[in-house]
Amino acid sequence: MDFDKDVAALDKTAGSVVNATNPDLKAFFARGGKLIEWTGWSDPLIAPEDALHYYESVAKKMGGVSKIDNSFKLYMVAGVQHCRGGDGTDTFDMLKPIEDWVERGQAPGEIIAAHQTSGKVDRTRPLCPYPQVAAYKRSGSIDGAANFQCKLP
């Protein structure tokens, strides 16, 4: 592969199919589209910062975070690798929140995630919509989601 030529050629011929970088989601949002994106902070394959950059580019293109908040949520999951694995809470359901949002108009907030060791849950945490983060309430077990709250850093 010749990176100087082949990447540009692929982008020109198949970019609209393989790249998810267009921040103009106006038509999607106008049709009532809802988007939940998540990525693990420890993903070794795709830089987690790319998810942040995309979210921020959509917000900028669409007129600010307040303009996309009813249609687009980003969750950054601490300690999780590519789709699963790592020290983070990598077991959670994103299907129910998107169904509730699309079908019932209930926008997702915190989503409870779990970490398992040998098939047994040993830690839970709330996943928070960006830019919020899970903050310890300073009491109770650090392994329980109930002892954390989503808040701005």
How far apart CA 68 and CA 34 sit, in angstroms, is 10
Output the six-digit token pair for 63. Answer: 């007129």
- Tell me the sheet residues that pair with 73: 36
Q: Using 50, 70 and 90 to split pLDDT, how confident is the model at 9?
A: confident
Residue 83 per-residue DSSP state: S
pLDDT tens-digit map of 50-85? 999 999 999 999 999 999 999 999 999 999 999 999
% of the chain exceeding 70 in pLDDT: 97
- Average pLDDT on 84-94 reads 96
Residue 49's pLDDT is: 96
Q: pTM of the prediction?
A: 0.88
pLDDT tens-digit map of 15-37? 666 677 889 999 999 999 999 99
